[in-house]
Amino acid sequence: MTDVSNSLSRTPEAGFGDYVALLKPRVMSLVVFTALAGMVVAPGAGALHPVEAFAAILFIAVGAGASGALNMWWDADIDAVMRRTAGRPVPSGRVAGGEALAVGLGLSGLSVMMLALASNLVAAGLLAFTIFFYAVVYSMWLKRATPQNIVIGGAAGAFPPVIGWAVATGGTSVEAWLMFALIFLWTPPHFWALALFMKDDYHRAGVPMLTVTHGRRATRGQILAYTVALVPVSLALALSSVGGPLTLAVAVVLNAVFLHGAWAIRARDEAVAEADAYAVEKRVFRFSLSYTFLHFAALMAERALSPVGLGGW
């Protein structure tokens, strides 16, 4: 009987998949994609050796994974009480908090050092700042201190295309910062749409998400406001030197659909049954994932077509 009880109380052992999950591979995939886009559309991209470009993207991905591990280490207590995150490796007990911290710190140092060797100090410095901003400024400070956590903290997710641009050029430019601004302004409506149908999770965890501190109605209004602010940035990027007719057409369609969804969220009746109401929020949240992906895919397609005279302005 003792053996049975001991086996039931034993902490499950971590597998390879748990350490992969510790690095937040879904977030990492978006980081890699937008960093690659920033690198590909930059004017110096053609001079990059393929091995150099691959190494740079690899170490940017490692840096993103390091940020994820540090975030999971710090947020283990609130992750444990949220349905969406309770199964993560640290709160579930499969990976010890100390292990997550060691992985995060080790990969942070490795990624920054190797990116400096593989590309340049500007790109490495931007990666180091991004890791610090996500792990310290956002996770350790903003997330639990202010309902503007997602707004300010969104800067961490907006840096990858700037880093990619720096890999190719050794610096930054207006076009790189327009890509930054696109992700920065996209982040609040993207996460607040999620927060609308996950409000109870944030309430239980004591996270001052806007839905908790100001309510659903105010959050819906902010989703629409940020979506409106996103439109001119999207169009400015399409009209910049890295854009073109294809990017502009994609931007017009994506913004029209996103605005329609944001307006539907803003205008919906509070009396509508939760199942029906949340269907709207979930639909907008899922579309917002495509919004960023298709913007950056269009930029890369424009760049691929420009050498043969079919893309660009």
The residues of the chain scoring below 50 in pLDDT are 1-10
The per-residue pLDDT for 9 is 38
SS (H, E, C) 82-111: CCCCCCCCCCCCCCCHHHHHHHHHHHHHHH
Is residue 65 in some structural domain? yes
Q: Which of 135, 154, 172 is the last residue of a domain?
A: 172
The residue with tokens 């992750």 is 79
Q: Please indicate, yes or no, whether residues 183 and 305 belong to a single structural domain of this protein.
A: yes
Q: How many domains does the chain have?
A: 2
The per-residue pLDDT for 1 is 39
Q: Please indicate, yes or no, whether residues 159 and 252 belong to a single structural domain of this protein.
A: no
Is residue 128 in some structural domain? yes
The per-residue pLDDT for 260 is 96
Regarding pTM above 0.85, the answer is yes
Is residue 252 in some structural domain? yes
Give the CATH number, domain containing residue 295.
Answer: 1.20.120
Q: Please indicate, yes or no, whether residues 151 and 179 belong to a single structural domain of this protein.
A: no
The per-residue pLDDT for 275 is 56
Q: Please indicate, yes or no, whether residues 47 and 57 belong to a single structural domain of this protein.
A: yes
Domain span holding position 213: 173-313
Are 165 and 39 in contact by the 8 Å Cβ rule? The answer is yes
Is residue 3 in some structural domain? no
Q: Please indicate, yes or no, whether residues 143 and 203 belong to a single structural domain of this protein.
A: no
Token digits of residue 88 = 């993560």
